[in-house]
Amino acid sequence: MTDQTHIIDRLSIQADGVIRTEDGTIYAPLTLPGEEITGEVAAGRIAQPKIVTPSASRVRPPCPHYRSCGGCSLQHGADEFVANWKASVVETALNARDIQAKVTEVMTSPANSRRRATLSGRRTKKGAQVGFHGRASGTITEISGCTLLRPELLAHLPTAEALTMAGASRKGELSMTLTLSEAGVEIACSGGKEISADLFTTLSEIAHKNGLARISWNGEMIAAIRPAWQAMGRAQVAPPPGAFLQATKEGEAALTEFVLENLGKAAKVVDLFSGSGTFTLPLASHADVHAVEAEAPMLEALDQGWRKAQGLHRVTHEVRDLFRRPLLPDELDRFDVIVIDPPRAGAESQIAEICSSKAKRIVHVSCSPITFSRDAKTLLEAGFVMEKLIAVDQFRWSAHIEIAALFTRC
């Protein structure tokens, strides 16, 4: 049925338009609340909506690939609308847990600021195709005019094509994580052919020819031409290939500033899910820090960065799976402030131990409104108060949002 019109009620957490009908819910991508649309409904979805009455918040998407590419989902919305919607996503998740809180600020990274992205590559009869997957599709959309990525990453699309030609299997797909370091771009590849002597040589030659800082293949280092270091506070850290890194420098700076501003007069801080030191090393300019992370190579990179830096407080580290072995109350009680930045799954077990400890000050960073609201509810029930709440949008034009909050208790 294509002639029937529908009104978009709201956006889902994935940023699809939501239509309420007597028969259930219909989803429509690339729409905005209040818009009147038509389109064929299949399996509860209008894949190709036609806008009859546009929202006042609708704008012309800046990217030429927007309709076919799945890298962005909100370029059709004005910046103010997107910021307000992302704040509402956080607030709605909290409200669902009976927590009344307002996001006081949304800090959005600029266009062409993503310094890390994972591209897909597939060999074709004529060569190679590299880009992002289309929406709910296995089709790869080439992204030569991408408005999301840093120019330094876009400049290496030919490098990614060469790697795809050299090492992607005929039927498989190569995954390439491009990261901009202070020494240039590095690429971590996975899903390619098994490494051989000839392939090793070819990959190394591609890296040298195209000026990569380093390249790895299926977890094996192929060429480390220059140290692929990142600035973390006063330290220079070379994280493992493909390791987690905040998506933009601007987003990292906003989150780090929030963490440091809410440190108080702490002399000893524990940084849980520390990664390679995003917060640990800036914190070490102000206090002794104990970093806890499950991945040993990330902590080794952190430690090397700390040892070579000047003027930092003492930094210790511990390899520990905080999902299976969270820090216990007697361990947590050694610290004045707890900084925690868990992955999308949240930190349910660790938060429970924090609540049983004597902790009075927690700076909580999260990439999931759902698990953040769950963990926030646990903290509030244990006597904590959420004093501050901000959002950091470093995944511009996507449905993702970062959260930073300060919890205290007497």
Residue 210's Cβ-side half-sphere holds a number of Cα atoms within 13 Å equal to 25
Bridge partners (DSSP) of residue 38 are 50
Q: Which residues contact 85 (CB under 8 A, 6 or more apart)?
A: 11, 15, 74, 77
What is the torsion angle, in degrees rounded to the nearest 10, for the CA atoms of residue 191, residue 197, residue 201 and residue 207?
30
Torsion on CA atoms 64, 66, 69, 72, rounded to nearest 10:
130
**Enclosing H/E stretch for 197:** helix 197-209
Q: Which two tokens stand for residue 359?
A: 């902790």
Q: Is 246 flagged in the annotation as binding?
A: yes
Of the candidates 146, 189, 367, 410, the residue annotated as catalytic is: 367
Mapped onto helix, strand or coil, the DSSP state of residue 402 is strand
* Nearest 10 degrees: Cα torsion 22, 25, 26, 30: 130
Active site residue 367: yes
Q: Is 273 annotated as a binding residue?
A: yes
- Residue 64 in tokens: 């030429």
- Residues forming the active site: 367
Instruction: Output the known binding site for S-adenosyl-L-methionine.
Output: 246, 273, 293, 341
Instruction: Output the known binding site.
Output: 246, 273, 293, 341
